[in-house]
Chains A and B, each alone.
Chain A
Amino acid sequence: MAIDITRASAAELAHALASRELSSVEVVQAQLDRIAAVDGEVHAFLHVDPEGALTAAKDVDDRRAAGEDLHVLAGVPIAVKDVMATKGLPTTCGSRILQGWVPPYDATLVARLRAAGMPILGKTNMDEFAMGSSTEHSAYGPSHNPWDLERIPGGSGGGSSAAVAAYEAPLAIGTDTGGSIRQPAAVTGTVGVKPTYGGVSRYGLVALASSLDQAGPCTRTVLDAALLHSVIGGHDPMDSTSIDAPVPPVVEAARRAEVRGLRVGIVKELGGEGYQAGVRTRFEESVKLLQDAGAEVVEVSCPHFDYALAAYYLILPSEASSNLAKFDAMRYGLRVLPEGVDDPSAEQVMAATRDAGFGAEVKRRIILGTYALSSGYYDAYYGQAQKVRRLIANDFAAAFEQADVLVSPTAPTTAFKLGDKLEDPMAMYLNDIATIPANLAGVPGMSIPSGLADEDGLPAGIQLLAPAGRDERLYGVGAALERMLLDQWGGPLLTRAPELEVKGGAR
């Protein structure tokens, strides 16, 4: 039976490639055609690289023909969030200040994709420097949710999730600082994983908040996420915060998909008020499925999670204000000369460039962070936030005494309409209320689709959390729940999404 390339999972494609039923060039071409057909509507990509992707595909095909031993995902194409440095491919981070910058080096993660023989289709859209929950803060215009083009695809990694949801790519790379992989996954009906902090190298990930950032997989199935996780994970001597230990056995866990005897903890503080009814209902049903499958369900309390958002919005801007100082027009990227100044000083050029090159949300957070780190305020803000962070980590430690994994809705609501929260930063920030604690504590988290909310017919997500270094638990539980839900739905949730209007060029 001929496989529908763009609808196939990465695991299916890998199988078809290995059995030479398909060539990588065919797969890449099909994805490029799909991108050409729908990305005008979705705008998941900032940059598509047909030439580079096809060259890489051809290379893999040649090596396979020569009988070379290839990686399991060799030949399966991937889209990469525009926050990862890609040698020879523009990297803008969704910001005007990096317009036209082409890195002279590959991020470790990107180098690992290339080494595995995975053609890179292009770079995906994102909120500027990963600051946002909707991609509306991208300097290059927002991405659109394939379920409803009037709605946001989540953020900051909305481009990656939209690309996967719209079948433009079987796999994508996201980064998650406060939920930027998981929340987009939830609102697009896809799978997203934030690995344990230090599990995937940050070398070449343009930092938003160094102590929170973590790259991870955006996929349509849990097994695909596990396969991709194995490619990008593992120790990197170029990243001091990288964990020097083997990648957890995520693929085995996803294949085993076992929950019997597992203790599942519902986090009391993540749910209830402020969460959309349909999101809550689908979440409760998912928990019931796990219970029916033999998991023991308990309720746990993490009292300090109430302060997570406040701590996060001190730590993140503080680190970001320093991380983003390097964008000063001196060495690369945009350079703007101040108007009406004859012989501008370096400082004046820096100021003019940063004024023109950064968007409002970036400036807002730089100012917040600069303030929080100022002498006289440091202890009250940054110092206090670090203490809260410790308390949140303690809450997790206590909760993981009682449960093997924790669960919550991923995001409080389904996808909101573009423009709805643009003028209200606080409302936008609240979208990450359930995902932020994992970043503060460095624990891994996964979002998988839990179904469609009754009131709007849009996807909702369930979040799974595991102790640091035990990422495989997410995959075991996630895969088991995914199988039960698929049985219930009679097929992948994404098949219920409306067909996108296909523009010319499609075969």
Chain B
Amino acid sequence: MTTTTSEPIVDYDEALERYDPVMGLEVHVELNTATKMFCGCATEFGAEPNTQVCPVCLGLPGALPVVNEKAVESAIRIGLALDCEIAEWCRFARKNYFYPDMPKNFQTSQYDEPIASNGHLDVELEDGTVFRVEIERAHMEEDTGKSLHVGGATGRIHGAEYSLVDYNRAGIPLIEIVTKPITAAGRRAPEVARAYVSALRELLRALGVSDVKMEQGSMRCDANVSLRPRAGEPTSQEQAAVPLGTRTETKNVNSLRSVERAVRYEISRHAAVLDSGAKVTQETRHWHEDTGVTTSGREKSDAEDYRYFPEPDLVPVAPSREVVERLRGTLPEPPAQRRKRLQSDWGYSDLEMRDVVNAGLVEMVAETVAAGATPAGARKWWTGEVARRANAEGQDVVSYAALLGVRPAHVAELEGLVKDGRLNDSLARQVWQGVLDGEGGPTQVADARGLRLDQDSGALEVAVDKVIEANPDVVQKIRAGKVQAAGALIGQVMKEMRGQADAGRARELILAKLT
């Protein structure tokens, strides 16, 4: 079965002339609790298949769930951080459907009684504009097992020779965060989608409730997109009055970049469908990272009936207001507010701060400053060569640095070497290259490459004498009181020393000899 037949699309700018996009984003986050949602099994990522299982998460006959209190606390903290109302009383519900990776053939989730509802997240776009995304709800549920389809061309269940299921993931606590329809983003919809997921990731990381690793699936995004005819500016009342179009749900978009691309693609594709006079089919779409297109999944009609009902094996969750307030007290400083504070602490300009934020380097810089580096140095070293190389590899700086084993302490160490007068800026750059090339820490690289400013004043004196002798005119001027003329001599001394000298010391020597 071919799944890559490309469908007609309309140029993005053209699409936006005729249509107004509306999005709904559903983000699933795996919590980093030590144990699963309803049993005591470990949640470690990457363990041997089916080694972190028990009667409960395997759905063996007779087994019963017990709610993980830590997961509930995480859910409440997430809700509070999103400015949601926290339910005083809510229940779990069973979502019934048959699938081999669902041990009980129902997912224990929340339906009409979520733990958190009606919040918002303010999202900063690249140019500094703040866009408010309204949050419909955040609810608790359990993850399913993971199917591996072996054989066949697509890695999908159809055409596979056989399938294997790993139930280690079954029962991992999930929080699903659902936005209200995101309107008024206009042509910036894809950017808003990306910025929202990015800001949410930053928030969840700050809360410490999840690893939020999109590439490992601990954070997954489903993007709902629909178009409606343009009736004015995206933010206008005329536009807001236009009814929503039919949506598609693009599943498992697993990187920030893909979120933006997938939304953009769907806008272009919907526009082509609508332009042709056809109707958009309400369905699930699969995102293909490699080709940058979505393809049709199962049709998701209203006929799909999960027969939700309250989970009779669990008692209601009723967090007391005292507990909620105690948890509110554990919330970290909101990332946006923290950024403002850090910018002021670090003395960065708006532009400098935005560079650091957009590169996802706020934490890295904070850690680097904490390790003893100057804010200016931290910014310089992380946004320079490392960022360039990460970009070339298509990676974000933080993961790339982790891959190379380069740490904040390395930057502090490098700065220390400059401060101690062992390296100057150009030598420090060479040392940094070595660190990035995996040759070791800064001191190690400097030692191994023999890079150091010459501390032997003998060699420097020889060079100074040589330059003084070769430049009688300049010497004359200096002796006459034009001290600034020394610059020309310093340059030549540095050249003589092949850069491995401290310019300050060269200046001192020259002036000492001539005045």
Would B106 and A325 count as touching, CB distance under 8 A? yes
Would B105 and A326 count as touching, CB distance under 8 A? yes
Stretch at the interface among B54-62, B230-238, B274-282, B489-497: B54-62
Stretch at the interface among A98-106, A145-153, A357-365: A98-106
6 residue pairs of the A-B complex, CB under 8 angstroms, read A93-B61, A211-B312, A240-B67, A241-B313, A322-B307, A330-B165
* Contact A331/B163 with A210-B312, A319-B312, A373-B307 known, Cβ cut-off 8 Å: no
Q: In this complex, what residue of B is CB-closest to A84? A: B62
- Asked if A206 lies at the interface with its beta carbon under 8 angstroms from chain B, I say yes
Complex Cα gap A382–B104 (Å): 21
- Asked if B318 lies at the interface with its beta carbon under 8 angstroms from chain A, I say no
Residues from chain A with Cβ under 8 Å of B309 in the complex: 318-319, 322, 373, 378, 382
Complex Cα gap A327–B103 (Å): 9
Complex Cα gap A346–B104 (Å): 15
- Asked if B13 lies at the interface with its beta carbon under 8 angstroms from chain A, I say no
Residues from chain A with Cβ under 8 Å of B67 in the complex: 240
Would A203 and B100 count as touching, CB distance under 8 A? no
Q: How far is the CB of A235 from chain B (nearest CB, A)?
A: 12
Complex Cα gap A210–B62 (Å): 10
* Contact A238/B64 with A325-B96, A373-B307, A374-B307 known, Cβ cut-off 8 Å: yes
* Contact A105/B60 with A207-B313, A240-B67, A330-B100 known, Cβ cut-off 8 Å: yes
Residues from chain A with Cβ under 8 Å of B100 in the complex: 328, 330, 346
Would B96 and A322 count as touching, CB distance under 8 A? yes
Question: 4 nearest interchain CB pairs?
Answer: A325-B105, A210-B312, A373-B307, A211-B312
- Asked if A429 lies at the interface with its beta carbon under 8 angstroms from chain B, I say no
- Asked if A237 lies at the interface with its beta carbon under 8 angstroms from chain B, I say yes
Would B315 and A240 count as touching, CB distance under 8 A? yes
Q: How far is the CB of B64 from chain A (nearest CB, A)?
A: 5
Proximity bits, A326-355, B CB within 8 Å = 1, else 0: 111011100000000000011100100000
Proximity bits, B305-347, A CB within 8 Å = 1, else 0: 1011100111100000000000000000000000000000000
Would A240 and B312 count as touching, CB distance under 8 A? no
Listed residue (A330, A347, A382) with the most chain B CB atoms within 10 angstroms of its CB? A330
Residues in B259-291 with C-beta less than 8 Å from chain A: none
- Asked if B245 lies at the interface with its beta carbon under 8 angstroms from chain A, I say no
Would B64 and A322 count as touching, CB distance under 8 A? no
Would A204 and B63 count as touching, CB distance under 8 A? yes
Would B64 and A203 count as touching, CB distance under 8 A? yes
Tally of chain A residues near chain B (CB < 8 A)? 45
Would B66 and A326 count as touching, CB distance under 8 A? no
Q: In this complex, what residue of B is CB-closest to A107? A: B62
Residues from chain B with Cβ under 8 Å of A205 in the complex: 62
Residues from chain B with Cβ under 8 Å of A93 in the complex: 61
- Asked if B94 lies at the interface with its beta carbon under 8 angstroms from chain A, I say yes
- Asked if A91 lies at the interface with its beta carbon under 8 angstroms from chain B, I say yes
Interface of chain A, main secondary structure: loop
Q: Which of B58, B307, B313 contacts A210 (CB 8 A)?
A: B313
Q: In this complex, what residue of A is CB-closest to B314? A: A240
**Chain B, interface residues (CB within 8 Å), range:** 20 to 34
Residues from chain B with Cβ under 8 Å of A370 in the complex: 307
- Chain B: residues with CB nearer than 8 A to chain A? 55, 58-67, 94, 96, 98, 100, 103-106, 157, 163, 165, 305, 307-309, 312-315
Known: A332-B61, A350-B98. 9 other contacts (CB 8 A): A240-B66, A240-B314, A240-B315, A241-B314, A322-B106, A326-B105, A327-B61, A347-B98, A378-B307
Complex Cα gap A318–B307 (Å): 9
Residues in A68-94 with C-beta less than 8 Å from chain B: 84-85, 91, 93
Q: How far is the CB of B67 from chain A (nearest CB, A)?
A: 7
Would A85 and B61 count as touching, CB distance under 8 A? yes
Q: How far is the CB of B191 from chain A (nearest CB, A)?
A: 37
- Chain A: residues with CB nearer than 8 A to chain B? 84-85, 91, 93, 98, 101, 103-105, 107, 202-207, 209-211, 237-241, 318-319, 321-322, 325-328, 330-332, 345-347, 350, 370, 373-375, 378, 382
Would A204 and B62 count as touching, CB distance under 8 A? yes
Q: In this complex, what residue of B is CB-closest to A373? A: B307
Would B314 and A326 count as touching, CB distance under 8 A? no
Q: How far is the CB of A378 from chain B (nearest CB, A)?
A: 7
Would B62 and A206 count as touching, CB distance under 8 A? yes
Residues from chain A with Cβ under 8 Å of B103 in the complex: 326, 331
Q: How far is the CB of B218 from chain A (nearest CB, A)?
A: 25
* Contact A98/B307 with A322-B96, A346-B163 known, Cβ cut-off 8 Å: no
* Contact A101/B312 with A326-B103, A374-B307 known, Cβ cut-off 8 Å: no
Q: In this complex, what residue of B is CB-closest to A383? A: B309
Residues from chain A with Cβ under 8 Å of B55 in the complex: 85, 103-105
Q: Which of B60, B66, B106 contacts A104 (CB 8 A)?
A: B60
Residues from chain B with Cβ under 8 Å of A84 in the complex: 62
Would B307 and A103 count as touching, CB distance under 8 A? no
Q: How far is the CB of A353 from chain B (nearest CB, A)?
A: 12
Residues from chain A with Cβ under 8 Å of B64 in the complex: 202-203, 238-240
Q: How far is the CB of B9 from chain A (nearest CB, A)?
A: 33
Residues from chain A with Cβ under 8 Å of B104 in the complex: 325-326
Q: Which of B58, B313, B314 contacts A331 (CB 8 A)?
A: B58
Residues from chain B with Cβ under 8 Å of A98 in the complex: 61
Residues from chain A with Cβ under 8 Å of B58 in the complex: 331
Complex Cα gap A350–B66 (Å): 28
Complex Cα gap A98–B55 (Å): 16
Residues from chain B with Cβ under 8 Å of A332 in the complex: 60-61
Residues from chain B with Cβ under 8 Å of A237 in the complex: 66
Residues from chain B with Cβ under 8 Å of A206 in the complex: 61-62
Listed residue (A101, A202, A210) with the most chain B CB atoms within 10 angstroms of its CB? A210
* Contact A240/B63 with A105-B55, A326-B104 known, Cβ cut-off 8 Å: no
Residues from chain B with Cβ under 8 Å of A238 in the complex: 64, 66
Residues from chain B with Cβ under 8 Å of A209 in the complex: 312
Q: In this complex, what residue of A is CB-closest to B61? A: A206
Complex Cα gap A350–B313 (Å): 24
Would B61 and A240 count as touching, CB distance under 8 A? no
Q: How far is the CB of B97 from chain A (nearest CB, A)?
A: 9
